[in-house]
Amino acid sequence: MTSHDTTIDDAAWASPWRRRRVGEKVLLSVSLVLTALLTPPWPGCVLVACLSVFLILGPARIRASLLATVMIAPVTFLIIGALPVAIHLGGDGWGIGPVRINADGATTALGLIAHGIAGTLALMVLATTTPMVDVITWLRALRVPDPLLDIASLTYRLLFVLLSTTLAVRQAQVARLGDAASWRRRWHALASTIGSIILRSWQRATNLQRGLEGRGYEESLRTLSPRRARSWPFIGVSLASVAGVWATCWVLA
């Protein structure tokens, strides 16, 4: 069972870029993220956003509807977060009482939204092409201590197990008319659900510990991971695209 909560990861596993080196995708995505942060909204953020959407929908072949769903949460935050930036308490501008809005504030807020959308899209270049766990494995190369990465990758595995149980339990409650219950009873049901999922998480962890011990687990959770070939063309095109954005900004400035 897949849920809305893991659609990005599902897409990443199926992505044609899945087999690219993580380091190369990180390079592309992070340099785009930084570009979105450091260049002005026009043309920098707009170019980064266009480039990211092109990469995600084009070579990485992610469905447009999926990208749209994914963007709902960050865009909601951006709008709510930019609102207080747009308005002023006191000062000039148009408004009611001390709450004022003027061109400066509105421009800053729109700029923020542009940075936010471009940055998030740039991050999605990585997220929709690279399963979370590949990023964790890649961090090993950066000398992050093994126990921390072991915990992170076990977290990844367990969250799918727990998520499917949680969703199933919630669905089963609705089947027994849980959504028709009184407010008070729904809160009790929620607490019981969370409590039993905690108990089950514990049980899962203990069982998995025993299962892994049987397979020789003592201290480290070492596994083989395939070596991916480095692609100079990919690196070259990535750097050229980012450089192109910067050049355009510089020219237009």
Partner 1 sequence: MTALLEAAAVTLGFHDHVVLRDASLTIRRGSRIALLGANGSGKTTLLSALSGALEPSVGVVRFGGQDLRHDRRNLREHRRHVQLVLQDPDDQLFSADVTQDVSFGPLNLGLDEATAWARVEEALNLLSVTHLAERPTHQLSYGERKRVAIAGAVAMRPEVLLLDEPTAGLDPVGVAELMATLAGLGTTVVLATHDVDLALSWADEVAVVSDGGVRQGTPSLLLDAALIRSARLRMPWQLELVTRLGLPVDPLPRTIDDVLTRIGR
Partner 2 sequence: MHIAEGFLPPIQCAVWFAASAPFVIHGARAVIAKAKESPENKLLLAAAGAFTFVLSAIKLPSVTGSSSHPTGTGAGAILFGPPVMAFLGTIVLLFQALLLAHGGLTTLGANVFSMAIAGPWAGYGIWKLIRRTSAPAWVGVFFAMAVADLVTYCVTSVQLAIAFPDAASGFAGALTKFLTVFAVTQIPLAVAEGVLGVLLFGFFTRV
> Is 152 an interacting residue with respect to partner 1 (CB under 8 A)?
no
Instruction: Report which residue type is found at 198.
Output: I
The residue among 236 and 250 lying less far from partner 2, judged by its C-beta, is 250
Residues near 116 by beta carbon (within 8 Å), at least 6 away in sequence: 74, 77, 78, 81, 82
CA 215, 217, 221 angle in degrees (round to 5)?
110
Task: Identify what 232 binds: partner 2, partner 1, none; CB under 5 to 8 Å per kind.
Answer: none
Give me the 120-159 binding string for partner 2, x by CB under 8 A, dash otherwise: x-xxx-xx----x--x---------x-xx-xxx-xxxxxx
Exactly one of 66, 106, 110, 197 binds partner 2 (CB under 8 A); which one? Answer: 197
Among all chains, which residue has been given the structure tokens 């049987």?
Answer: 214
Q: Taking a C-beta distance cutoff of 8 angstroms, is the pair 113, 104 a contact?
A: no
Rounded CA-CA distance 79/75 in Å is: 6
Cβ closest to partner 1, residue 34 vs residue 208:
208
Shortest Cβ 236–partner 1 spacing (Å): 27
Q: Report strand pairing: 99-101 vs 94-96.
A: antiparallel
Query: In the set 69, 76, 107, 192, which binds partner 1 (CB under 8 A)?
Result: 192
Cβ distance to partner 1 smaller for residue 157 or 230 = 157
> What residues numbered 20-39 form the site for partner 1, per CB under 8 A?
none
Interface residue with partner 2, options 14, 16, 19, 38 (CB under 8 A): 38
Q: Is 141 in the site for partner 1 (CB under 8 A)?
A: no
Residue where the block lists tokens 């690196």: 235
Out of partner 2, partner 1, none, what residue 85 binds, judged by CB under 5 to 8 A for its kind, is partner 2
Distance of closest approach, residue 233 Cβ to partner 1, in angstroms: 23
**Shortest spacing between CB 233 and partner 2, in angstroms:** 25
Q: Where are the alpha helices (DSSP H) in the chain?
A: 7-14, 22-38, 46-57, 64-86, 103-127, 132-140, 146-175, 183-214, 232-252
Q: Which stretch binds partner 2 (CB under 8 A): 1-9, 51-59, 229-237, 243-251?
A: 1-9
Size of the site for partner 1 (CB under 8 A): 53
8-state DSSP, 3: -
Residues 9 and 132: their CA atoms lie apart, in Å, by 7
Which of helix, strand or coil describes residue 109? helix
Strands 87-89 and 94-96 come out as unpaired
Interface positions with partner 1 (CB under 8 A): 2, 10, 13, 131, 133-134, 153-154, 156-157, 160-161, 165, 168-169, 171-181, 185, 189, 192-193, 195-196, 199-200, 203-204, 207-208, 210-218, 221-226
